[in-house]
Amino acid sequence: MTPLENAQSLNGTGVARIRDAELRERARVVIPGGMYGHLNMGAMPADYPQFFESARGARVTDVDGREFVDLMCSWGPVILGQHHPEVDEAFNRQMALGDCLNGPSPRMVELAERMVGAVAHAEWAMFQKNGTDATTLCVTIARAATGRRKLLVAKGAYHGAAPWCTPVESGTTPEDRANIVRYTYNDLESVRAVLSDDVAAIMVSPFRHDAGYDQELVDPEFARGLRALCDETGAALILDDVRCGFRLHFGGSWDPLGVEPDLSAWSKAIANGYPLAAVLGNDKYRAAAQSLFTTGSFWFASASMAASLATLDVLEREDSVGRMTRMGDALRAGLQEQADRRGIAINQTGPSQMPYLSFVGDVDWAVSIQFAAAALRHGLYLHPRHNWFISAALTDDDLEVALSATDAAFGELRPLTD
């Protein structure tokens, strides 16, 4: 079923999604709450599929055969599109040799060299599996280097789901969070107010992308100010580039600002969906990185590293950031035209490659949820409370389907337009 056929067949009525319903029922028995984590669709509109069957390019298909144009990209990991031939070939070629061995393959050295070459502040690299592994390792390295304990993070910022950083406190102890101190994003005074001689590091996202809120680009003066405060106090500047890395700029998200972190955390898009994370650092933190013990059973597996090498090659050669920006710009322009035509007041925030749309005055996301559910029925997959992700695989055809779906969705927002 194409997105158009999907839109036609459902036509706002909500066709029974038998397979998804059956799988949810089975999942409720053997998985706590039926699902967990960021892909738990329990609180999303009922039409949202919990289970997916397949994907290709910028299209995803759920277990009931509904195909959608995908504006979530698996929440970031898919940057060149699903099943990119060059990336998959590199993955498969390495897999045929060996993946999880008694040591890494040459791919690990090649990838470390490649990332050090691509990202300005980086003089060394370490690899892991989860974004949380990378953010946690950055903090551990900063503490080892400084002998200090405190970590400054922005209020509301997401840096992973380990006990020290998960947004839900259940199961965490006061000690897990005893050394976390909060500042306000883009407010240098709020950082100064919590600085002390026990601050090991300041962690910061490339821009403010807290779920459920309009996105806020970084103030370049704030970024430069953080760098200066770290230089003054000897704290490490940690850029959490897990969500944005390689989507905003090939050389690291703050490269255009000329602000170099000491340590940066990467994951999600660096291998186009294959599992990998990385920490990059400068020489000031090399000895500290070497002093600690961190590892994982699959951290040295080579196939994801081969996929990452191919991903970086394509991203750089094809200027994928430029393409994602142009497609994101076109999506935004279309959305703005559609909303303006109907007199609907919307906010579009964040970088074009990671767009977010909200409705003015929609404090409880009721309108966003209605809009997302309608877009879904018309063949477009997006999220009402979390930034979206554009991939370089999004074609003009995909964009047309997407804008056709959003146009219909705006048109169905009766309570707002009546």
Tokens of 89: 């070939």
- Identified binder of a copy of itself from the candidate list 1, 129, 156, 395, rule CB under 8 A: 129
Q: Tokens 């999880």 correspond to what residue?
A: 100
Residue with Cβ nearer a copy of itself (165 or 339): 165
Min dist. Cβ of residue 275 to a copy of itself (A): 4
The DSSP annotation for 194-256 comes to: H--TTEEEEEE-SSB--TTS--BPPPHHHHHHHHHHHHHHTPEEEEE-TTTTTTS-TT-TTGG
Binding status of residue 18 toward a copy of itself by CB under 8 A: no
Q: How far apart are CA 240 and CA 46, in angstroms?
A: 33
Q: By CB under 8 A, what part of segment 349-388 binds a copy of itself? A: 381
CA-to-CA distance for 153 and 177, rounded, in angstroms?
Answer: 11
C-alpha dist (Å) from residue 64 to 28, 48, 185, 338:
19, 11, 42, 30
Distance (Å, whole) CA 316 – CA 278:
18
Q: How far apart are CA 22 and CA 194, in angstroms?
A: 51
**CB contact at 8 A, 295 and 367:** no
**Which are the contacts of 181, defined by CB distance < 8 A and separation ≥ 6?**
150, 151, 152, 153, 194, 199
Element counts in the chain: helices (H) and strands (E) = 13, 13
CB of 124 to a copy of itself, least distance (A): 5
Contact pick of 1, 4, 120, 162 for a copy of itself (by CB under 8 A): 162
Q: How far is the CB of 302 from a copy of itself (least distance, A)?
A: 8
Tell me if 175 contacts a copy of itself by CB under 8 A: yes
Q: Cα(197)–Cα(128) distance, rounded to whole angstroms?
A: 30
Among 230, 263, 288, 408, binds a copy of itself (CB under 8 A): 288
CB 256 within 8 A of CB 322: no
284 makes contact with a copy of itself (CB under 8 A): no
219 or 313: CB nearest a copy of itself:
313
Nearer to a copy of itself, 269 or 346 (CB): 269
348 near a copy of itself (CB under 8 A):
no
Q: Which helix or strand (DSSP H or E) is residue 374 part of?
A: helix 366-377
Q: Among 90, 119, 125, 236, indicate the residue that binds a copy of itself (CB under 8 A).
A: 125
- Exposed/middle/buried for 34, CB within 10 Å: 0-12, 13-18, 19+? middle
Stretch that binds a copy of itself, among 2-10, 213-221, 270-278, 331-339 (CB under 8 A): 270-278
Provide, rounded to whole angstroms, the least separation between the CB of residue 106 and a copy of itself.
6
| CB of 155 vs a copy of itself, minimal distance in Å | 17
Kindly state whether residue 13 participates in binding a copy of itself, applying the rule CB under 8 A: no
8 Å CB contact between 267 and 247: no
**Contact in structure between 390 and 355 (CB atoms under 8 Å):** yes
Q: Is 207 in the site for a copy of itself (CB under 8 A)?
A: no
- Number of residues lying near a copy of itself (CB under 8 A): 104
How far, CA to CA in Å, does 186 sit from each of 19, 194, 344, 381? 46, 14, 29, 31
Cβ-based nearer residue to a copy of itself, 60 or 369? 60
Of 82 and 349, the one with the shorter C-beta distance to a copy of itself is 82
Binding mask 229-248 for a copy of itself (x = CB under 8 A): -------------x------
Least distance to a copy of itself, CB of residue 27, Å: 5
Identify the residue among 57, 77, 351, 355 touching a copy of itself (CB under 8 A): 77
- Window 33-62: residues binding a copy of itself (CB under 8 A): 33, 35-39, 41, 49-55, 60
Toward a copy of itself, which CB reaches closer, 184 or 294? 294
Kindly tell me which residue out of 15, 18, 46, 101 binds a copy of itself, with binding defined by CB under 8 A: 101
Q: Is 153 in the site for a copy of itself (CB under 8 A)?
A: no
Stretch that binds a copy of itself, among 96-104, 184-192, 218-226, 314-322 (CB under 8 A): 96-104
212 scored as a contact of a copy of itself (CB under 8 A)? no
Q: Which of 302/368 has CB closer to a copy of itself?
A: 302
Instruction: Show the CA angle centred on residue 13, arms to residues 12 and 18, nearest 5°.
Output: 120
CB of 53 within 8 A of CB of 364?
Answer: no
415 binds a copy of itself (CB under 8 A): no
